Chain A
Amino acid sequence: MTAQELVANAKDLKIASQAALQLVGLLDDPNADNDDVVRVLRYDNILTAKLLRACNSSAFALSEPVSSVDQAILLLGHQQILQMVLSLEFSAAMTVPLAGYATEAKELWRHSLATASAAELLTKGGLNFEADPSVAFTAGLLHDIGKLLMNQVLTEDMQAEIRGRIKTDQLSRVDAERAVIGTDHAEAGAALLETYKLPGDIVEAVRNHHGPVIKPRLQLSALIHVADVAAHLAGSAPGWEAFAISVDPHVADAFQVSADRLQSLVLEVRESFERVDQLMSMA
């Protein structure tokens, strides 16, 4: 089965509202500003209400209540608002149990948030890679979205076969998926996001997050690869055989990650993930 067939045959897959997809699209537009964000949100009352409730939660401890999107952007900044909106939107689609991966309802979402905050951290961590923090955050949030598609076709027999390949051949989970099904959750996720016409670098990051592109120059997938690994090491590793992930042999050098730097990074990821998690539970 190909990734495209998987997308075409997907049943009842409602990933996010039109507004959220438009906001992701804005990430690609260098001329987009606060007004564009306000314009998109204006047509989605429910989303606006959710956003304002989150802004007024105790996590932000604002001195005055926020009553409009303009005011929220002014007080918290356009990046923070964008991340909150995307988190609010995608949490519903991704807070589902996945029998095919033996994950409970909240686990995929928590892992997505952990990877998103790790990715954002990496853009600020003095690593030799330039990326927009919001683009990195969004790519982290969506990197495993293909698991929603894979879950629809992963029968118990297939799962057993995939686990068998991991154990006997020491395959990574994604390689074992490809061997048994013909495609994998990374390809499936990218194919899905392509149908939504999301920005190309986000699609690239989702497609290659287990096979990062480092040469001729680093791509966003390399950053998401490291963010995913850091999220696993920071205590967010959902599903069976969760550590059967091949770490790219060149990625540590490319990002100048030493053993000590890695520990600090994992610590930072843990802290930022706990903050985001707390924020989201209040929203």
Chain B
Amino acid sequence: MSVSSKWVIAPPRKTLVVGVADMVASNDAGAELVTYSLGSCLGITLYDPFAKVGGLLHVMLPDSKIDSAKAAASPAMFVDTGVPRIFQAVCNLGADRRRLVIKVAGGAQLLDPQKVFNIGERNFQVFTELLQKNGYSIQSRDVGGFASRTLRLDMTNGNVSIKSPGMETYLI
């Protein structure tokens, strides 16, 4: 006998918050991974739609060479050390590298004609170079501009939504 949908109560959704220089990998299809206030930082999501395994990484700086001690202590601070780790983490939970859907948001840019302060741009550049070198491509991205962003990865279906202050939420 089927039950009217009106009587089905969904269990509370688990929200896993990813801080700056932090990452979370999960195989909980009922969870949502969220990271707040991505400015020049990048929020990188990986999702295997078949295994329903995904991960979210929030990196702040492009290059770990500036501080190797810091990179060892918190690899998710840097693009070049954080990205390999989030790939490893989702694969450890049963994701298949060949099925991974890769999305990225953030990398906001200041008005800086000299481009000394363009950390957002360099974060994205280092990330794309790293992916290319390893034969991956980005499925969708929402990078650059002046807005800071909150990013959510819905582990049920891999949807990635973006919300900026004073703006409506949209999917990428």
- Which chain A positions have C-beta within 8 A of B117? 229, 233, 247, 252, 262
Q: Is the CB of B166 within 8 A of A240?
A: yes
Binding site for A on B (CB under 8 A): 20-21, 37, 39-41, 60-63, 66-67, 70, 77, 108-114, 116-117, 119-120, 122, 145-148, 164-167
Interface size on A (CB < 8 Å)?
37
Seed contacts A246-B111, A260-B66; 17 additional CB < 8 Å A-B pairs: A102-B165, A103-B165, A159-B166, A172-B111, A235-B60, A240-B164, A241-B146, A241-B147, A242-B39, A243-B145, A243-B147, A243-B148, A247-B111, A252-B114, A252-B116, A257-B116, A259-B116
Q: How far in angstroms is the closest Cβ of chain A from B156? A: 27
- Which chain A positions have C-beta within 8 A of B120? 243
- Which chain A positions have C-beta within 8 A of B40? 232-233, 237, 243
| A81 in contact (CB, < 8 A) | no
Q: How far in angstroms is the closest Cβ of chain B from A228? A: 10
Grouping DSSP codes into helix (H, G, I), strand (E, B) and loop, the B interface class, with mixed when no group exceeds half, is: loop
Q: Is the CB of A266 within 8 A of B39?
A: no
Which 10 interchain pairs have the tightest Cβ spacing? A102-B166, A102-B165, A237-B39, A247-B112, A240-B166, A243-B146, A243-B108, A244-B146, A252-B116, A241-B146
Q: A257-B116, A258-B116 are in contact. Are A245 and B110 (CB under 8 A)?
A: yes
| A192 in contact (CB, < 8 A) | no
Binding site for B on A (CB under 8 A): 101-103, 159, 163, 166, 170, 172, 229, 232-247, 249, 252, 257-260, 262-264, 266-267, 270
The docked-state distance in angstroms from the alpha carbon of A113 to that of B66 is 25
Q: Among the listed B61, B116, B166, which residue makes an inter-chain contact with A266, where contact means beta carbons less than 8 Å apart?
A: B61
- Which chain B positions have C-beta within 8 A of A264? 66-67
Q: A237-B37, A242-B108, A242-B147 are in contact. Are A267 and B67 (CB under 8 A)?
A: yes
The residue among A232, A235, A236 with the most chain B CB atoms within 10 A of its own CB is A235
Nearest residue, chain A, Cβ from B40: A233
The docked-state distance in angstroms from the alpha carbon of A274 to that of B62 is 20
